[in-house]
């Protein structure tokens, strides 16, 4: 029953030879650049990715829209949008927030901040290179690892100094007691280079033979979401919810159960039911996908109990509200993913928009909302400035509305599409025509999401402006 805000670093630590905990000002001064740079750039990539995502979505029902050149057809645009979201936005923002949380939870200043800055600069160059490469036709054709052969190593090498900085900061923590968020961060930071190196080797650099490539692609995609983005996003919500609600975490044991279940089961999901592979692989994944509901329920229950009786605080604190919605999206995603893994449902929804909708819920709902919560909280804290309330409200309302509209449309449209597949007497085009109105609704949803992302970008600019104004004022006062 410990939380960073409530756990005091006792004087016993100093007596044991541990250095005194760093103050918030010292922490902020050490990690301001290495956190704000990736967070700001991630918002830029989010806007760019959302623009491409909307274009791709329009193309699904309006094939003539911007399609006279290779790089403007649906084929390259969709993977480019997905890659920007995964690597430019989500991974980068979570890396920045991870550095910040490791400092705050460990009550230490950032160790090796320069290393992280160098890594972040190269990471962004890698993302730009990958996006241009994909639009130019160099994608690999594996949904979660579309990175061109020449861009993937750039991202891997860029990650190393960032990961090293994070691990050094973790090791230098002055509060030796570990909080749940630190477990998740440690896991995510160790697993990411492992899965990335495996995919880079067996998909991009030295491709495995035949169907084995597909296995690597499925394994990577699943673990990228389940054991990289998920633990990093969970670290954010486990950090923010107790802190902002002013309550200790409900149960550390339940948190430990959720953590280890995720670690044990999470890596086995991901192979679709109908994959043309030996039957044991989809069977294992089905079992894992259903079992995954346990850690998800453990997390949701733990955090629900933590905020029980704090409704008014949740409503009035934006970062807390976003964290709660993020956990809610995670829970709904868990249920849908488990249903999808069941043969009665999975045989209908496989290859349809429904699977895209469920993935979208995980990425744009659970992961992105957790990131937004982290950005709102960390940004204000690091710059000692206030966000624009109106822009923030516009952002989250548009994002939530767009997300719900897009996911619901894709899931319902996908189920109808899947049922149409199974009638071999009807022409295939009938299944496509059934989805058109739903894809149109998804486009509308993603357009709202894009507008929300623009509001966030505007708010980031506003925050920096406020910080500059505050800085100037304090200088005037001093002089």
**In terms of residues, how long is the chain?**
479
* Tokens of residue 428, six digits: 């295939």
| Residue burial 230-251, b: 16+ Cβ < 10 Å; e: rest | bbbbbbbbbbbbbbbbebebbb
User: For residues 476 and 40, what is the distance between their CA atoms, to the nearest angstrom?
Assistant: 28
Task: Tell me whether residue 208 or residue 401 sits nearer to another protein (CB atom).
Answer: 208
Task: Tell me whether residue 216 or residue 392 sits nearer to another protein (CB atom).
Answer: 216
Q: Output the smallest distance, CB 82 to another protein, in A.
A: 9
User: For residues 465 and 479, what is the distance between their CA atoms, to the nearest angstrom?
Assistant: 21
Task: Tell me whether residue 62 or residue 458 sits nearer to another protein (CB atom).
Answer: 62
Task: Tell me whether residue 214 or residue 380 sits nearer to another protein (CB atom).
Answer: 214
Q: Output the smallest distance, CB 246 to another protein, in A.
A: 24
User: For residues 211 and 217, what is the distance between their CA atoms, to the nearest angstrom?
Assistant: 10
Task: Tell me whether residue 33 or residue 75 sits nearer to another protein (CB atom).
Answer: 75
* Tokens of residue 152, six digits: 């993937």
Q: Output the smallest distance, CB 379 to another protein, in A.
A: 28
| Residue burial 113-133, b: 16+ Cβ < 10 Å; e: rest | bebbbbbbebbbebbbbbbeb
Task: Tell me whether residue 26 or residue 177 sits nearer to another protein (CB atom).
Answer: 177
Say if residues 231 and 262 touch (Cβ distance below 8 Å): yes
Q: Output the smallest distance, CB 308 to another protein, in A.
A: 24
Task: Tell me whether residue 98 or residue 318 sits nearer to another protein (CB atom).
Answer: 98
Q: Output the smallest distance, CB 2 to another protein, in A.
A: 10
Q: Which residues fall within 8 angstroms of residue 402, CB to CB, at 6 or more apart?
A: 444, 445, 446, 447, 448, 449, 450, 451, 452
From residue 19, how far is each of 99, 102, 150 by CA, in Å? Answer: 20, 16, 44
Task: Tell me whether residue 278 or residue 389 sits nearer to another protein (CB atom).
Answer: 278
Say if residues 238 and 252 touch (Cβ distance below 8 Å): no
User: For residues 251 and 256, what is the distance between their CA atoms, to the nearest angstrom?
Assistant: 9
Task: Tell me whether residue 183 or residue 376 sits nearer to another protein (CB atom).
Answer: 183
Q: Output the smallest distance, CB 441 to another protein, in A.
A: 15
Q: Output the smallest distance, CB 27 to another protein, in A.
A: 19
Say if residues 402 and 448 touch (Cβ distance below 8 Å): yes
Say if residues 152 and 87 touch (Cβ distance below 8 Å): no
User: For residues 402 and 360, what is the distance between their CA atoms, to the nearest angstrom?
Assistant: 11
Say if residues 145 and 221 touch (Cβ distance below 8 Å): yes
Q: Output the smallest distance, CB 211 to another protein, in A.
A: 4
Q: Output the smallest distance, CB 144 to another protein, in A.
A: 10
User: For residues 439 and 477, what is the distance between their CA atoms, to the nearest angstrom?
Assistant: 56
Task: Tell me whether residue 118 or residue 178 sits nearer to another protein (CB atom).
Answer: 178
Q: Output the smallest distance, CB 24 to another protein, in A.
A: 23
């Amino acid at each position: 029953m410990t939380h960073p805000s409530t756990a005091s670093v006792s004087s016993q630590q100093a007596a044991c030879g541990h250095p005194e905990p760093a103050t918030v000002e010292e922490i902020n001064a050490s990690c301001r650049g290495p956190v704000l740079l990736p967070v700001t750039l991630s918002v830029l990539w989010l806007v760019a990715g959302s623009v491409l995502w909307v274009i791709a979505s329009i193309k699904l029902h309006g094939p003539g829209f911007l399609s006279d050149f290779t790089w403007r057809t649906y084929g390259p645009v969709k993977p480019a949008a997905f890659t920007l979201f995964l690597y430019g936005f989500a991974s980068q923002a979570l890396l920045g927030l991870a550095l910040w949380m490791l400092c705050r939870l460990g009550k230490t200043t950032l160790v090796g901040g320069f290393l992280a800055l160098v890594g972040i600069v190269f990471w962004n160059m890698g993302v730009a290179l990958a996006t241009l490469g994909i639009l130019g036709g160099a994608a690999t054709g594996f949904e979660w690892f579309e990175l061109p052969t020449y861009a993937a190593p750039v991202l891997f090498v860029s990650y190393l100094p960032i990961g090293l900085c994070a691990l050094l900061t973790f090791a230098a923590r002055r509060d030796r007691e570990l909080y749940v968020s630190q477990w998740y961060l440690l896991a995510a930071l160790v697993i990411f280079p492992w899965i990335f190196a495996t995919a880079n080797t067996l998909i991009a650099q030295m491709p495995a033979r035949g169907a084995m490539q597909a296995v690597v692609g499925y394994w990577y995609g699943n673990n990228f979401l389940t054991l990289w983005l998920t633990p990093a996003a969970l670290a954010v919500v486990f950090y923010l919810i107790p802190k902002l609600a002013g309550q200790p975490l409900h149960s550390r044991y339940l948190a430990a159960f959720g953590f280890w279940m995720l670690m044990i089961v999470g890596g086995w999901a991901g192979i679709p039911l109908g994959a043309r592979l030996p039957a044991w692989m989809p069977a294992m994944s089905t079992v894992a996908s259903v079992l995954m509901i346990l850690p998800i329920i453990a997390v949701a229950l733990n955090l629900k109990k933590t905020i029980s009786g704090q409704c008014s605080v949740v409503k009035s604190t934006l970062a807390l509200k976003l964290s709660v919605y993020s956990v809610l999206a995670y829970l709904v995603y868990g249920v849908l993913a488990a249903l999808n893994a069941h043969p009665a449902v999975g045989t209908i929804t496989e290859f349809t928009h429904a699977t895209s909708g469920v993935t979208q819920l995980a990425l744009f709902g659970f992961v992105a909302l957790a990131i937004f919560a982290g950005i709102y909280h960390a940004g204000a804290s690091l710059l000692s400035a206030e966000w624009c309330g109106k822009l923030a409200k516009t952002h989250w309302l548009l994002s939530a509305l767009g997300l719900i509209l897009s996911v619901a449309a894709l899931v319902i449209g996908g189920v109808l599409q899947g049922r149409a597949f199974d009638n071999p007497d009807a022409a295939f085009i009938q299944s496509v025509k059934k989805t058109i109105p739903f894809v149109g609704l998804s486009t509308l949803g993603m357009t709202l999401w894009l507008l929300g992302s623009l509001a966030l970008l505007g708010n980031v600019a506003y925050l920096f402006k406020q910080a500059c104004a505050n800085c100037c004022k304090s200088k005037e006062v001093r002089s």
